[in-house]
Amino acid sequence: MEKATFATAINCMDGRAQDPVARWMRQHLGVEYVDTITEPGPDRVMTLGSPEGLESIRTRVLVSVEKHRSRAVAICAHHDCAGNPVSRESHRDQLRECVRIIQSWKLPVRVLALWVNEHWTVEVVSDTPGGASA
């Protein structure tokens, strides 16, 4: 029996963003399960928040990667975010910075930045190959 496949979504706690992201990741990454790490405005938490907040996210990502063998990590942001009420362009800039932060963790995963637009569909902002040496 083949082992289950996982990916990880660092997503907003807003339930409207969670289903589209999980569905997109299962479909486009070919995984069975999506581990979800939620924060109000995770792109803000990772780029402008406290070091403790960033470390909390990193610790939870490590559980997913090390224990579930997650093959991809996506940082997600969405339209109409109460936790990070900034423009679409600001979200996209923060998402790209989040990708750089996640890559600095040197995990053997593909790293993506996903935007959930006003129609609650997923747009890819960034997609980088995986691997600690990438």
Contact 44/14 with Cβ under 8 angstroms?
A: no
Written in H, E and C, the secondary structure of 35-76 is EEEEECCHHHHHHHCCHHHHHHHHHHHHHHHHHHCCCEEEEE
The C-alpha atoms of residue 115 and residue 106 are separated, in whole angstroms, by 23
**134 in any annotated domain:** no
Amino acid symbol at 39: E
- pTM of the predicted model as reported, rounded to 2 decimal places: 0.94
**118 in any annotated domain:** yes
**102 in any annotated domain:** yes
Torsion of CA 84, 124, 61, 129, to 10 degrees: -140
Structure tokens at 93: 């800039």
Contact 83/16 with Cβ under 8 angstroms?
A: no
Domain of 12 in residue numbering reads as 6-128
**78 in any annotated domain:** yes
pLDDT tens-digit series, residues 3-43: 789 999 999 999 999 999 999 999 999 999 999 999 999 99
Written in H, E and C, the secondary structure of 75-93 is EEEECCCCCCCCCHHHHHH
Residue 39 has what pLDDT? 97
Averaged confidence pLDDT in the chain:
95
Tally the domains of the chain.
Answer: 1
**124 in any annotated domain:** yes
Contact 80/118 with Cβ under 8 angstroms?
A: yes
Helices (H) and strands (E) in the chain, counts: 4, 5
